[in-house]
Structure 1
């Protein structure tokens, strides 16, 4: 049986709990070599296109900083966090770490991350700065902003005899009906499974609630989760999304090998910065749509902007100044921005963003236009995730599968999930 993302997250949680309690040693980064050169290790997750662009950024940085070499380490999302937790546990963490908001406090609060004070953030808006800041300091520099979208494959819609929906007003019932029709009339599924925790976050936002609060508690009740699981089970029963085993299998691949990226599903929940990789993999000009809502009214999606990711650094690095120089180049140089384009979100540096937007085309241009189009509809950002938040994703996926496989009913799954989530962040 394939080792899916769910299993990986379960293993990661156990490893991280041990790893992070003992972090902060000397680190593995070597001192300057005989010629005085410094080598930094930089880890990231992402698609093949991101890796290719990142290597070009590294090459550009090295050309401008001949005394600094950057060694890249990358992989898929699931295995990335297992590997990082193990590296931190053995004092072998990379100098520069591509970080996600789910894990920022997990590492920062345990003293594993470097305070990045001194990197120029004068061209960032306040929200972008706050996203990477805890009470103890600035531990993540936001690379860019993005939004969760429902990607749509126009070719499969046309094959099914359907037009793209009015995404300003469509509902979850509309989404189910459209997806079920596509499954019936094409060789693809109408949609892939949910992208968590964003799928549940949207469901809760549309009822005025949140997954977690600013105080670090759960922001919903078991009844909310029950209704969500009932909606998801209804999608599967209507054949709008794959079977339980198909959903489990599609939780593991990155964009390139997902049902969306391979043309196996007409719709899928993804972040805007992933649209280019998905379009390139599928060979289709995928279209970003607003997430379905519950009210049927304009703005019913209740969307929000999210930091796509952060640049963080291990506190144990022996080369803090060189680390900050590289991160500064990543987020503040127009040259890096032109290579990243929208892959790590629309740049946080407003000057770089303006330069990049003028050069975007294809999927990146569609992403940028979408971000601009929803500006007047965007609600408050989700609260900064508390410690333990990364485990909530695993829990949510796991209980979703329990419902899909019929091992638990929505009511029982909701009650057990709520109790386990309370313990996780408690």
Structure 2
């Protein structure tokens, strides 16, 4: 039975399935930590065995001591080989048979450590060498118990081997050594159990705290990414807002190559009438559907889609596309295809007589021109599309830069045209 693990309150937003996944990760990390450290400890165990072997030379039954040390060394070598193999495994918890074999070796190792007490049991309290051997054994057993405590079953097997071998010895020699060693031996089991349980809980709680910190760090990172996304996006359509679009445009313009960049400005026709006749909810739905069609038309898998542009909601019903590495004829093709797709927009929630269309203005961004100047060119072309009857694509050619109507004045004219329709 495992000791009760110190449970920490999971961070907010963690589902039961995630908690179960955490337990699996805790077990995996605990085993990884154990495997990384146990090999060194098993090597260090050679030192107390050597000391016991040296002190055993002064005992009458030194051959038994040597045999027990040799067996213990073989047992440690086998445990070392298993831990090395598990250390290289991708998923150590899945190697159940190896862990069972390791637990069996831990039981044998515990019995062999306790067995080293047998050659000196009769002379305890009478010979200083026997006392040293006893102290070395008890200290080694206690330290080993703490080291393997994080592998709880391994610890239980090790302690069982120690107690099953040590208690009968103290009972057999009670006439020679008295009852005190027997009492101490019996008390040793619960003491080691309690210490090992504390180590086990501490190991689990430290790993759990680290996982919670990692989880909170990931949540914070996601929150920052979401905040950055919201700061750069239009809340209704999810497209870039003006600030983000200008940043992207500045980045593309500063690229070392001199590939052409085109802008396409789209203004949905009669949008004020759509809001007035069908309601603002329908108007919002039209904007979202138009934005989706525009984005889909920019994807590489579309016939003329490219996948490397940027799209922004530039105003109430205006959208602005930036097409890097795109010559003007191709930009006109993309705009024309997009105009057709806008006209095909339908939705079961819309009225049957609702028709969506857009007026397009296309302009090429000259290297020496500022962004707002190119947008003004596209705006002028789009305004000509409105004047020519809407639902069409107009191009601003080089040298064709008549003064663009002031934005509020242009909007008033367009609104009046919408009202007349």
TM-score > 0.5, shorter chain as reference: no
Q: Per the shorter chain, which TM-score range?
A: under 0.3
Greater strand percent: which structure? 1
- Greater per-residue helix proportion: 2
The alignment's TM-score, normalised by the length of structure 1, stands at 0.21
Larger RCO (alpha carbons 8 Å, 6+ apart): 1
* Structure (1 or 2) with the larger CA radius of gyration: 2
**TM-score in terms of structure 2 length:** 0.22
